[in-house]
Structure 1
Amino acid sequence: MTVPGYGDDLVLATRLADAADAITTARFRALDLRVERKPDRTPVTDADTAVEDAIRAALAAERPEDAVLGEERGGSAATGRAWVLDPIDGTKNFLRGVPVWATLIALVVDGDPVVGMISAPLLGRRWWAATGSGAFSSDSAGTRQLSVSGVSSLSDAYVSTTDVNSWREYHSREKYLELLDVCWESRAFGDFWQHVLVAEGAMDVAAECIVNPWDVAAAQVIVTEAGGRFSDLDGAGRYDNGSALSTNGLLHDDVLGILKR
């Protein structure tokens, strides 16, 4: 795998994803899986912490000068080079035996995601991108370059969002329903999957009203390198502003016109 600029970092992200997959697949549906509840009432399993600890140990050995921000162990990605980690995105699925979950790994440089790696081993899928080098995915059929859809009207758009109760609490239930009403079809794939589906061209819009930086840092570079557009719900091209909108680019302003408050 040769990628100019961030090629070595992407190769490292691939090895980190391999290590994560070995841990998560071994613990998936394990009868002795340990589950705790964090202060925000979200679940964390022993697999989450084991993956993050393993990735942090590898980064300490191979990129000792880089900062790390992870869901389970904290940290900062404010300046310079920082790796942003979500050891298991979709922990609720993981602990319930639903195979839709992934490890998310991003390299952020001075606040901008430049490398993204998303690995979903039970789906047999992986997605990755580096700034200026395109976005790609692999599955049992091989590797292909990603490109967003060419849908240009919301009336023809396939949209994925998250739970309506989250929109009621963190943004606007009315605007959520307005978006769904004007689109052709809606689903709630949630988490990482809806954003990579936008990058693949399978979905046209993915919107989340509440996210953490580690939820979408990798998705941002994958979506944009596939030709799409990523922002928060106010239109700022940031992964760390608390919300997320991925589109094919053609529909972005129309969606923002509905969701902006």
Structure 2
Amino acid sequence: MTDPGARRAAAERAARAGGEVAASLFRGDLAVETKDNETDYVTRADGEAQEAAVEVLRERYPDEPVVGEEADARKTVPETGRAWVVDPIDGSHNYVRGGRVWGTCVAAVRDGEPVAAATVCPALGDAYVAGEGPTERNGEVVAVSDRADPATCSVAPTVWWPSDRRDEFARAAEAVVTRFGDLRRPGSVQVALAQVAAGRLDAAITNVAVNPWDSIAGAHLVRRAGGRVTDLAGDRWRHDATGLVASNGAVHDDALAAATEI
């Protein structure tokens, strides 16, 4: 197996391992704590799922750094060299309330750019994976939608605007509903990006900086599915960018205009 192929396989194995742990505790009796705000939930499932994913990565790549949301994992992506990025449960708000829209996500990066990614959604029965080739869902190739008329498109304003930025949340919703046919908000950045990759959503937008564990895997899935991912300036998106606009490409200018209006 080539190195890109091996990293794609490792990302999927790690995401599945973490997802299995999270699924085993899903809808169980978990003590729930909050981190940065009143809806930024964390449970022991987050830590245990991350440990399971990292253990898989360490078996084959013991010397490569892991960027992760929980515990003492590194929080920034190295600008050079190879690394891994792990989000044990993206969509924690859904998870702790028994909602099915959440995923375990793993990305392999080289010099800050993703080269492989997996987003596994156990409660939905979906696993999205991409390496150098096209994005697959459950082993079948998927692609972004071909919708070019914004009036027919569904778009997600994504990430979370904290309590002191609720006016931006409102403007994000307005920017979407005045330009596009409908608004969807899955409650998980990574699942929203996976849905863009699979053509279930036509775009996902935000004007805020996005954590690498919330975004890198999904951005790679969208690109490998034929979509476009940029920052607010319309330049190629990177993990340290402000804002994220992911789309099928055909309506990217409209999605970008909506994001910059926020």
Given that 1:23 and 1:51 are in contact with CA atoms closer than 8 Å, whether structure 2 keeps it comes out as: yes
For residues 240 and 63 of structure 2, the distance between their equivalents in structure 1, rounded to whole angstroms, comes to 22
Letter of the aligned partner of 1:15 in structure 2? R
For residues 175 and 107 of structure 1, the distance between their equivalents in structure 2, rounded to whole angstroms, comes to 31
For residues 161 and 114 of structure 2, the distance between their equivalents in structure 1, rounded to whole angstroms, comes to 29
For residues 143 and 56 of structure 2, the distance between their equivalents in structure 1, rounded to whole angstroms, comes to 32
| Alignment length (residue pairs) | 253
User: What is the CA deviation profile of residues 88-129 of structure 1, one whole-angstrom value per residue up to 9, with x for unaligned ones?
Assistant: 001111111111111010011101111110001011110010
Structure-2 change in CA distance of 1:170 and 1:83 (3 Å): farther
Deviation at 1:178, TM superposition (A): 2.8
1:77 is matched with which residue?
Answer: 77
Given that 1:231 and 1:246 are in contact with CA atoms closer than 8 Å, whether structure 2 keeps it comes out as: yes
Query: Which ranges of structure 1 fall in alignment gaps of 5 or more residues?
Result: none
Deviation larger for 175-184 or 164-173: 164-173
For residues 166 and 158 of structure 1, the distance between their equivalents in structure 2, rounded to whole angstroms, comes to 24
Deviation at 1:174, TM superposition (A): 3.5
Given that 1:106 and 1:116 are in contact with CA atoms closer than 8 Å, whether structure 2 keeps it comes out as: yes
2:52 is aligned, of 54, 60, 63, to 54
For residues 16 and 109 of structure 1, the distance between their equivalents in structure 2, rounded to whole angstroms, comes to 18
What SS does structure 2 have at the residue aligned with 1:99? Answer: coil
For residues 174 and 121 of structure 1, the distance between their equivalents in structure 2, rounded to whole angstroms, comes to 33
2:24 is matched with which residue?
Answer: 26
For residues 10 and 163 of structure 1, the distance between their equivalents in structure 2, rounded to whole angstroms, comes to 26
Deviation at 1:193, TM superposition (A): 2.1
2:241 is matched with which residue?
Answer: 241
Percent identity reads 32
For residues 218 and 164 of structure 1, the distance between their equivalents in structure 2, rounded to whole angstroms, comes to 18
User: What is the CA deviation profile of residues 25-61 of structure 1, one whole-angstrom value per residue up to 9, with x for unaligned ones?
Assistant: 1111112x12222245521110100111222233233
For residues 17 and 174 of structure 1, the distance between their equivalents in structure 2, rounded to whole angstroms, comes to 34
For residues 84 and 37 of structure 2, the distance between their equivalents in structure 1, rounded to whole angstroms, comes to 23
1:206 is matched with which residue?
Answer: 204
Structure-2 change in CA distance of 1:165 and 1:108 (3 Å): closer
Letter of the aligned partner of 1:145 in structure 2? V
Query: Which ranges of structure 2 fall in alignment gaps of 5 or more residues?
Result: none
Letter of the aligned partner of 2:5 in structure 1? G
Deviation larger for 145-154 or 176-185: 176-185
Given that 2:101 and 2:186 are in contact with CA atoms closer than 8 Å, whether structure 1 keeps it comes out as: no
Deviation larger for 217-226 or 74-83: 74-83
Query: Aligned-pair RMSD on alpha carbons?
Result: 2.3
User: What is the CA deviation profile of residues 172-195 of structure 1, one whole-angstrom value per residue up to 9, with x for unaligned ones?
Assistant: 443541332121122212322221
